[in-house]
Chains A and B, each alone.
Chain A
Amino acid sequence: MLWKSRRLLFLLPGFSGVMLFYLLPFLEVVRRSFLKSGNGAFVGTDNYRAVFENGAFALAVRNTFLYMVAGVPLLMGISLFLSLLLRNLVLRRRLVSAMLLPMAVPAAVMVLTLQILIDRQGLINGVLKNVSEKMAALPAFAAIDYLNTEWAIVVVVCSFLWKNTGYMVILWLAGLAALPKEVEEAAKVDGANRWQSWHYIIRPGLSGSFFTIGMLSVLQIFKSYREVWMVAGSYPQEQIYFLQHLLQNWYLKLEFDRMAALTVILSLVLLAVCLLLQREKSF
């Protein structure tokens, strides 16, 4: 019996920390989401109602959803396309490393260059103006203020793609590497062209990867806050005000009632995503 308990000693230190810093405080937040923060009186679902009736919440949900709808398919499509091209290249390792480089770049460094690039009088607009002047056929160029107009969401999606493409390429390549090579080779011998082997062999074989990478991309959307905050601050252009901003701002304003309710709501949604992910993958 002794060896059994000694086994548990491996887990105990880590698990007690996870309990202390993650699980118990989270349960405490669940409890507090039904209480009034000043006196601790039970208020039922008032906090939740306050969240749902909040204008900023509606805005943040809408924006986060739009960000997801634009960002996830683009990320998945681009990274899948690149990994299909990369799969048989000799230089694959080098190119994947280059695509992964953004992981090593601290957000603040990236933001500095971004500010110079996307300012209304920045480099990108300068290049666009030059191009439009050289080609007389193009309409006259009007400088775009990327951060303070609807273009803000484009900037955010681009930085999301910049940051995550390499990461997803690796996941796709791992999925592709797991496909049995023989089937594809047999099909080639039988005269299947590339389209056919993609349509009938690769795509069905990747269905698990589609799901996993899709869910991970969704979670990455919720994890991207740093860059947006650094470029645009706590109150960015209306279109890029996300749920992460809302939580962060309520925290700064010490609005813990609503924050507790929103934390519970958001974690339930993300928990659903995680459970779907786990059922598929049997982690």
Chain B
Amino acid sequence: MESRLKAPAWAAQMCGVWRKRKMIWLAAGICAAAAALICAPLLMIPGGALMDGAEMKRILAPVLGEGKGFAVWHLLPFYPTIGHFRRLLIESPAFYRLFWNTVGMTAAILSGQLVVGLPSAWAFAAFRFRGRDFLFGLYVVLMLLPFQVMLLPQYIVLQKLHLYNHPAAVILPAIFSTFPVFIMYRGFTQIDAGIMEAARLDGAGEIQIFLHIGLPLGKMGIQAAMVLSFLEYWNLVEQPMAFLEEQAQWPLSLYLPQIGISQAGFAFAVSVVVLIPALFVFALGQDALEEGIAYIGVKG
């Protein structure tokens, strides 16, 4: 037994050092550094949004192809201004159009997913019927496929239904996305089967069981699905790009890259406005989000 458990000398030595309590600080340090590295690029955004256009032009001149040397950045602007926000929020009526497009699309998709996805998830979790496993496997495959694979199929059906170039072209397929069904299903499977059995024996109907047991106890999965969907659809790019020709119907997420780096300050201001709701949902729904991601990986 002793010989089987032999490790390389260097590894054993490393681990010996590791065991010391102090080394936990090293682990924390590495993880904190990784987290900081991941978050660092975002630090540019608030400063950029408040930076005067002239200052921005000066420090970004090399990137804009107007100067030698390298760009620099000021995390805190030397000449702060709310000019970009004024231009965006007061002087750009088109912005509101796009903003409400995004809000409307996201709201329509999320509520649609609740209406059709929630009962589907419940059906998979609570009932055994013929073909259930096959069907559920199909749902999982659909949720894992990239959008590009469904691009042509959806184009064909949207053409047939005369929905091309209509917001419904983005909304309807998203409503029937199988991903939220999967996440909500996972939430429901956490419910103890005995509770449902007991309710059935006591004469509860299927709808009652769904409303009074499924919904309250599967709350975490529902929240997780909504948070994941919000972050996904708030940031739609490919679908509107493929199916919406008129810019007036676009969501903000597709408009933002059109602004271009020559108006970086304005683009940063738009970024702030796009980011705030996403960060808000992220912060509020953090537990649900992490739970939802973990659902994807666990056996069951």
Check A89 for interface membership: any CB of B closer than 8 A: yes
* Contact partners of A102 in chain B: CB under 8 A: 38
A141 to B254, CA, bound (A): 37
A283:B137 contact, CB within 8 angstroms: yes
Check B244 for interface membership: any CB of A closer than 8 A: no
Check B197 for interface membership: any CB of A closer than 8 A: no
A213 to B123, CA, bound (A): 27
Q: Which of A45-53, A65-73, A122-130 contacts B (4 or more CB under 8 A)?
A: A122-130
Check B99 for interface membership: any CB of A closer than 8 A: no
- Residue-by-residue, is A1-35 near B (CB-CB < 8 Å gives 1, otherwise 0)? 00100111111011101101111111011001000
* Contact partners of B298 in chain A: CB under 8 A: 174-175, 178
B42:A266 contact, CB within 8 angstroms: no
Interface set, chain B 2-59, CB cutoff 8 A to A: 5, 7-8, 11-12, 14-16, 18-19, 24, 27-28, 30-32, 34-36, 38-39, 41-42, 44-45
Interface set, chain A 37-68, CB cutoff 8 A to B: none
- Count how many chain A residues have C-beta atoms less than 8 Å from C-beta atoms of the other chain: 110
Interface centre among A32, A101, A114, A116 (most CB of B within 10 A): A116
B256:A106 contact, CB within 8 angstroms: yes
A9 to B206, CA, bound (A): 11
A103:B60 contact, CB within 8 angstroms: no
Which of these, A114, A178, A278, contacts B140 with CB under 8 Å?
Answer: A278
* Contact partners of B196 in chain A: CB under 8 A: none
Which of these, A7, A86, A109, contacts B129 with CB under 8 Å?
Answer: A7
Size category, B interface: 35 or more
Check A131 for interface membership: any CB of B closer than 8 A: no
A170:B294 contact, CB within 8 angstroms: yes
- Residue-by-residue, is A242-255 near B (CB-CB < 8 Å gives 1, otherwise 0)? 01100110010000
* Contact partners of B32 in chain A: CB under 8 A: 91, 95
Check A165 for interface membership: any CB of B closer than 8 A: yes
| Interface SS majority for chain A | helix
B27:A106 contact, CB within 8 angstroms: no
| A276 vs chain B, min Cβ distance (A) | 11
Interface centre among B16, B178, B298 (most CB of A within 10 A): B298
Interface set, chain B 118-137, CB cutoff 8 A to A: 119-120, 122-124, 127, 129, 135-137
The 7 closest A-B pairs by CB, nearest first: A126-B70, A17-B176, A14-B120, A121-B62, A25-B153, A98-B35, A108-B256
Interface residues of A, Cβ cutoff 8 Å to B: 3, 6-11, 13-15, 17-18, 20-26, 28-29, 32, 78, 82, 85-86, 88-89, 91, 95-117, 119, 121-123, 125-126, 129, 143, 162, 165-167, 170-171, 173-175, 178, 192-196, 199-200, 208-209, 212-213, 216, 219, 222-223, 225-226, 229-230, 243-244, 247-248, 251, 256, 259-260, 263, 266-267, 270-271, 273-275, 277-278, 281-283
